[in-house]
Amino acid sequence: PSLQFLEEWEMLPRAGVWYAAVLLVATGGLAAQAAPTVYRLDVHGPIENGLAPYLARGIRQANAEGASAIYLDLDTPGGRVDAAERIADAVRGSKIPVYAFVNPRAYSAGALIALATNGIYMRPGGVLGAATPVDGQGTKASEKYVSAMRAEFRALAEERGLDPRIAEAMVDEKLGVPGLAEPGQLVTLSTSEALRVHYAKAEVENEGELLAQVGLAGAAVKAIDINWAELAVRFLTNPIVSPLLLSIGVLSLLAEIKAGAHGLGLLTGFLSLGLFFGSSLILGLAGMEEVILLGLGVIAVAVEVLVLPGFGVAGVLGALLIGAAMVLAMLGNFPTGGDVVQALLVLGASVFITLTVAYAWIRHLPNSRRFTGLIHQGSALAAEGFVSALPRGDLVGKQGLAVTDLRPAGVAMFDGEKIDVVTDGEYISNGARVQIVRAEAMRQVVRLVND
């Protein structure tokens, strides 16, 4: 080919020589522009819900920009399995190869992510495995959960052509693998052991050696950093921030419902609960089921406050629905005992904060000098002539129309005036004709007028 090229070069006219030279320079420039690019995504520290959107975005971006490969820099003690499953699904859905660099450890959920990649490379002294699921107290989870995780690891190993017995033994210590771990011990592979059983493809010291092993020596490496939106989601789902959002949301809505107004409290309440549930929706923890439960709970509480004063069935039901929605919004599709414990702790902290603030309002607000213009701080006795409202004896006998359902409290219209009324216990539907039979200060008692 070289000889043929030289012969053709000699046959070119002078103008053609210059054209060929320009063409060679341009071709070389295009070749330089087409240098391979490898994306690096860091998986450092505990695997939590906020990590999954970052890694999924990085994998999508690398695929969209035509990168040659992606490698995950793994150094993690493990973490939430549901987050690791979402990351593994993103890895398996990549159209370009994704490699794992165990640098130096990938325990538990980190091992699940590593098994989902196209190849595992480990640094000297690296470790991989120890993936048995545990509950909030650090003890082994139920057999049902262990069985599910064992199947997950086995499926990943089979997909990548690895020995599935070793993957299962990483999850269940009862299995054991000859030469690696006796029954009763979890399989945790060192770098040399992973090479021997072909779980690791090679031992590499650094990034350069890794790229050489995957046939991309000299490739440009592009690191993807977490963006502001992902940082915000991770902040909002923090176990310290979540109960504050819940408390602010519930307190604001209850204060607004009790006041019967539609202002700053309503906006604050919906904003706080929206941030809480919205961040969970982004992470895939919550769905429309949780939003519906929350809506039903708020409606039940509103009925208890506005329609059925007191604290009865509607109030208890509303509180339970709101609590259930909050807990479910913090759990994934397959939560561990630890996830449930953490969700209950967040809810408990929210309830404690809510009750503390409510007590502070009731106990200290009347004595606050800053609100002297809003709250009456003195006292008056009925014997001294004090009445909470002037009696409306002129209303007795008047007839009007109920403008709301009376259950038994509601509103009726008398001579163009809307008046809060109450029945003796009977239910009167909206639009029915009623008559005031007693006027007791602010309590106007009505009965149904039978035409």
Q: What is the CA radius of gyration of the chain?
A: 34
Q: Rounded CA gap, 165 and 312, in Å?
A: 56
| pLDDT value at residue 296 | 84
Taking only the tens place, the pLDDT of each residue in 133-175 is 876 566 787 888 889 899 999 999 999 999 999 999 999 999 9
CA dihedral 397, 399, 405, 406 (to 10 degrees): 0
Q: Rounded CA gap, 194 and 122, in Å?
A: 8
Which of the pair, 368 or 70, is modelled with greater confidence?
Answer: 70
Which has the minimum average pLDDT: 64-68, 167-171, 409-413?
A: 409-413
| pLDDT value at residue 321 | 83
Contact yes or no for 430/402 (Cβ under 8 A):
yes
Q: Using a cut of 0.75, tell me whether the model's pTM lies above it.
A: no
| pLDDT value at residue 121 | 98
| pLDDT value at residue 388 | 53
Q: Which two tokens stand for residue 36?
A: 């391979």
Tokens 């069935």 -> residue = 313
